[in-house]
Structure 1
Amino acid sequence: MTPSASSRPVRSRRSVLYLPAGNARALAKLPQLDCDCVILDLEDSAAPETKDEARESLRAFFREGHAAKLPRRMETIIRINALSSPWGAEDLLAARACRPDAILLPKVDAPDDIVDVEDALAQTDAPPQLRLWAMIETPLGIMNAGRIAQCARTDGARLDCFVVGANDLVKETGVANVPGRPWLSSWLMQIVLAARAYGLDVLDGVYNDFKDIAGLEAEARDGKAMGFDGKTLIHPGQIEAANLAFGVDPARLEEARAIVAEFALPENARAGVINLDGRMVERLHAEIAEKLIARAEAQATKG
């Protein structure tokens, strides 16, 4: 079996920016951006007649060494078209050859969508550290989210992260996408729950009005409260708000360090519950505190 969730490295994925793989001007600005991750997109951002051109632009970006000039802290992810589409197979070959940190699969409906790509990668020289991210953006994807997430616990698993596709969910279900997302929230929580059950990271969907920073801030705060690790973005102007919303609060970090330090005392080695400043604190809170500290340290390395 694969390592447990607790043994997976903690990564900072507060801000995850989509960029069209075929937009050379946008890609040239990447080294100056403060996002934790960039998704180089071959799917939604490329019209059918420009798919091949976008793929060649992506190949050139990596072949000519531009990706190597990005800050080491920035993860690179390539979103391909579905394997069932006319472009998916070639996209996968190109993405594998580029050797990003991860490949993002769109419209994942069932575990087979993950298994098929893992099988295809197993027949190539894809490095073992190449991860898979999965877009959960259809009714079937939500209904099967637990079974999809379980793919992360099979031998040789590459699945590492869920990404919400809220716009597609709205399109396919007809629900109203209004501030606070009352009609979407229960589905979003199902995605978070499935991810957490199998140790995956999980990213909230995009906020479409990139000029409305106040609205983005509010939705990002709600997303963090729901349990998301970060937010996908459509414009560089949204990065700062996402980094702030999904950053670790200094007061919570100080409290977490105090909890860990108290349980580390010899007299508390066997304690299940301790008294800390007049509060009863259980050992499970120490485990939560350790995860918070690890996340803060991962964010600190982002500079």
Structure 2
Amino acid sequence: DILLANLEDGVPADQKEAARAGLVEIAQSPTFATDFGATQFWTRVNSLDSPWGLDDLTAAVLEAGEALDVIMIPKVEGPEDIHYVDRLLAQLEAKAGLKKPLLIHAILETARGMANVEEICAASPRMQGLSLGPADLAANRRMKTTRVGGGHPGYLVRTDPPMVTRDDGTAETDINADRTTYQQDLWHYTIARMVDACVMNGILPFYGPFGDIKDTVACEDQFRNAYLLGCVGAWSLHPVQIDVAKKVFSPAPADVAHAQRVIEAMGDGTGALMLDGKMEDDASVKQCHVVVELAKALSASDPDLAASYGF
């Protein structure tokens, strides 16, 4: 969906200028439009407090701006960061003679950024969306996990201990008995708040990276959690995660078929009815429209998906 030129933390310090030159080279390539078609071209610049951030933004606009769609700003702390980037982009766009404004995508990687997430989303009409940066955010929050996204086996709840009867007939709890545990989601609150802030301001929420490349099962679980909470996509760190993301962020054919049945049965969308033993009303039909509209949008560029939905 997106070709991203990453200039930030994935690039060693002594290769920052080479990475920036690579961004410009791709943007100015005469075959760029034909090779990538409708695929959007983004860049992830270095943070605003780094030695490279200003030069990244300047080169992105003046040398790559005609090809670029979105600039990702990492470690956004508050609306003032977006205000700065917005004004700088306006100046550089005027200097470059660009005819379309570049959009801004912020990455949430600090506790202060999360505390200001609503203000960040509303800071500029250029805002395209937000992504969760779980590793940097975990470090900034002093969370005790070394994983890049995903859950942690130590973050759990445990069932209550069973009661046992002693020899004298009294009962007590046996805390050493086998008790079922359930791993919890470290990122539930963060993603839910991020989604609300994005929806409130008409921009798009994305889940960030999942670092355990081999564990595609857990990756799918984390991506699905984000999808169900309202995220529109996720980052892929490795080719094996692309199919996982495409699967998870596309509604299941059974869900689309059910949603279509509800919409058809509800008619004008008012009132309430029973369908397959379940109550459906105006709220549930709105949920169904979300699923069907997403399926139709995805089907427009994926014939196989369209066939699976019966479109």
TM-score scaled to structure 2, two decimals? 0.75
Query: Which aligned pairs between 1:1-303 and structure 2 lie closer than 5 A?
Result: 36-96=1-61, 97-98=63-64, 99-123=67-91, 124=93, 125-128=97-100, 130-151=102-123, 157-177=125-145, 180=151, 182-263=185-266, 265=267, 268=268, 271-276=270-275, 279-303=278-302
2:220 and 2:244 in contact (8 A); partners too: yes
In structure 1, distance between residues paired with 2:265 and 2:192: 33
In structure 1, distance between residues paired with 2:78 and 2:102: 21
Question: One-letter code of the match for 1:42?
Answer: L
In structure 2, distance between residues paired with 1:120 and 1:245: 37
Residue 15 of structure 2: SS of its match in structure 1?
helix
Structure 1 residue 176 displacement after superposition:
3.3
In structure 1, distance between residues paired with 2:47 and 2:196: 25
Pair 1:208–1:191, CA change in 2 (3 A)? same
Pair 1:71–1:109, CA change in 2 (3 A)? same
1:131 and 1:159 in contact (8 A); partners too: yes
1:105 and 1:135 in contact (8 A); partners too: yes
| Aligned length, in residue pairs | 260
Pair 1:300–1:176, CA change in 2 (3 A)? farther
Could you give the per-residue CA deviations for residues 192-231 of structure 1, whole angstroms, max 9, x where no partner exists?
Answer: 2222222221111211121222221222222223332221
In structure 2, distance between residues paired with 1:292 and 1:276: 18
2:191 and 2:226 in contact (8 A); partners too: no
Residue 234 of structure 2: SS of its match in structure 1?
strand
Identity %, equivalent residues: 27
Structure 1 residue 278 displacement after superposition:
5.2
Structure 1 residue 120 displacement after superposition:
1.5
Residue 169 of structure 1: SS of its match in structure 2?
helix
Pair 1:196–1:280, CA change in 2 (3 A)? same
Could you give the per-residue CA deviations for residues 58-88 of structure 1, whole angstroms, max 9, x where no partner exists?
Answer: 1011111353234434222111112332222
In structure 1, distance between residues paired with 2:116 and 2:126: 18
Question: One-letter code of the match for 1:76?
Answer: F
Residue 292 of structure 2: SS of its match in structure 1?
helix
Larger relative contact order (CA 8 Å, sep ≥ 6):
1
In structure 1, distance between residues paired with 2:211 and 2:198: 24
Structure 1 residues not aligned, in runs of 5+: 1-35
Pair 1:276–1:196, CA change in 2 (3 A)? same
In structure 2, distance between residues paired with 1:293 and 1:127: 34
Structure 2 residues not aligned, in runs of 5+: 153-184, 303-311
Question: One-letter code of the match for 1:170?
Answer: A
Residue 122 of structure 2: SS of its match in structure 1?
helix
Residue 151 of structure 1: SS of its match in structure 2?
coil
Structure 1 residue 103 displacement after superposition:
0.8
Question: One-letter code of the match for 1:174?
Answer: R
Question: One-letter code of the match for 1:54?
Answer: A
Q: Which residue of 2 aligns with 1:4?
A: none
Cα root mean square deviation, aligned: 2.3
Residue 100 of structure 1: SS of its match in structure 2?
coil
In structure 2, distance between residues paired with 1:144 and 1:93: 26
In structure 2, distance between residues paired with 1:71 and 1:296: 23
In structure 2, distance between residues paired with 1:175 and 1:122: 38
1:175 and 1:184 in contact (8 A); partners too: no
Pair 1:81–1:151, CA change in 2 (3 A)? same
Structure 1 residue 39 displacement after superposition:
2.0
Q: Which residue of 2 aligns with 1:17?
A: none
In structure 2, distance between residues paired with 1:109 and 1:226: 23
In structure 2, distance between residues paired with 1:127 and 1:83: 25
* 232-241 vs 123-132, which moves further: 123-132
Structure 1 residue 45 displacement after superposition:
1.9
Could you give the per-residue CA deviations for residues 221-260 of structure 1, whole angstroms, max 9, x where no partner exists?
Answer: 2222333222112111210111111111112212222333
Q: Which has the larger radius of gyration?
A: 2
Question: One-letter code of the match for 1:207?
Answer: F
